[in-house]
A and B are shown apart, each in its own frame.
Chain A
Amino acid sequence: MRGSFLWRNRVLLTSGALLIISLHLISTGVHPGDLAARPESAFLEIVSPVDAAFTRLTEGASSIAKDYLDLLHVREENARLRIELARVKSDRARLAELEVENRHLGELLELKDVLGAKAVAANVIGSDATGLSRTLILASGSSDGLRAGMAVLANQGVVGKIIAISPHASRVLLIDDHNSALDGFDQRSRARGIVAGLVDDGLILKYADRSQDIRIGDTIVTSGLDGIFPRGLLVGTIKSVHRGGPGLFLGVRIDPAVDFGQLEQVLIVTQPPPHLDDAGKD
């Protein structure tokens, strides 16, 4: 057995089979509910609590480091006062953090009321582990009523959509990821196009006809035609319009309305507003 061809080449044969399985997964895609999605969902479920703990730990460590640096400047004060100061600072930072969180949630609540849709808020606990794609990890999952494909919003505008889900965590594909696309239009000229991300960072409006009147500073909003994002949500503003290149379409770059790096809480539309169903009649 040990001298046989199969045994001698077991590593390469196993690796080859695994490469074929990987290519099959890439080419066919894994949809939520598939058998192949179960391990992915399980990994997400296992890693998300550790991820949340790491986030809390790193934020705590950062806060302690800042407090320590502050204390170096007040060496003449006695130990009791320093401890007291640290405690007061810690309490103040915690209260300030709660105030910010409260404000964010209040803004999300206002957005929910404006939308007239059923929605739930969720905390952001992580971002893309490799940095090659632009995704976020949320601390809410299917047990909170979330499903793959649901729209994710912030009070500034559109964030992305849910692409993977586990009972207590989910992953969001941001609109500036190079695999993301949503239907949008220029609010002033009504010119339509597909808002898509770029590999080298940034957001563009694809398939905007050369005859369209699109200008720098125009606002791009969702059309609702993709059946995911409610109509009229802010996507961003036009940063540049390139008319000189070859081809049928304009080269349009968009400045996203949402600062994706600063997101702490988001709103997930669990049931779109009734007028989303009518959007296709536009």
Chain B
Amino acid sequence: MAQGILVFIEQRNGRIRKASLEALSEAIRKAKLVGGDVSAAILGDGVQALTAEIVKYNPAKIYCTESAELKEYATESYADVLSEIIKKADPRFVFAANTALSRDLIPRVATRFDAPCISDAVDISVNDNSLEVTKPIYSAKASGKFAFNNPISFVTLRPNVFAAEPASNGSQPVIENVAAPPLNVRAKVTETHAATGTKIELSEASIVVSGGRGIKGPENWGVLQNLCDVLGAALGASRAVVDAGWIDHQHQVGQTGKTVSPQLYIACGISGAMQHLAGMSSSKVIVAINKDADAPIFKLATYSVVGDVLEIVPKIAEEVKRINEN
């Protein structure tokens, strides 16, 4: 009978996604309670070298498919290879980070196994020897808890929510190389363009500084970017400023933008419309800076600063810089 948890480890350009290691750590924590071993699956070109990074998290086994044909992600080739690995591992659960790649891939793979999939999990608990998965629904205005009743089930985990903890129990994972089956790809990536101005990826950043209409104009992004730089934060935005053409949609946080769950979210001149809250309400600490003391964002804020963003933000940046230098 199927048992244990297989974790799909995503890599791009030779770098493993941090969110995948979070999923791997969570699998190891939960496998103790549902039984079976944890294995990891990694595929791509030049991924053999990346197994050392996975070893630090101590899964029992690492399945590795190395192929030049897997250099660029393609839904069909990745689905073919991952399905092959799943057949070998025969797990009860498959975990993956809820990233752009997984959202494209995992439902398709789950379907090959006629299996259910719960996406964007923010909590996983064990009840009666099986998993119960909680995910935000209705743009985080509610949560849904789901349970599985199938030999194999899939879960994608929201980045930045589950802790990544390297672990060691003295044993060394077994590495099994799995040959890629013949691949037939009807839709392939022909080019990739890095978005301009995106220094740190929003959905994985541990600090996000976001700007809204209160920053007055696109000429003031520098003020926020400067704070991002001293904090190592990613730059976010409200829809109002994206629609106004002040910044690319890649930066939008909210219902029709990205969902972020950082340790610290600093909302600068953002009113706090529910569609914006949908994308950031699970942040651990929320700072709101707004000149209107009645702005709805303050209802959610851990720390409320009433004042002019353009005046306060540079002072915060200076203060952080001063402390960092000491």
Do A and B assemble together?
Answer: no
Q: Which residues of A contact B (CB under 8 A)?
A: none
Q: Which residues of B contact A (CB under 8 A)?
A: none
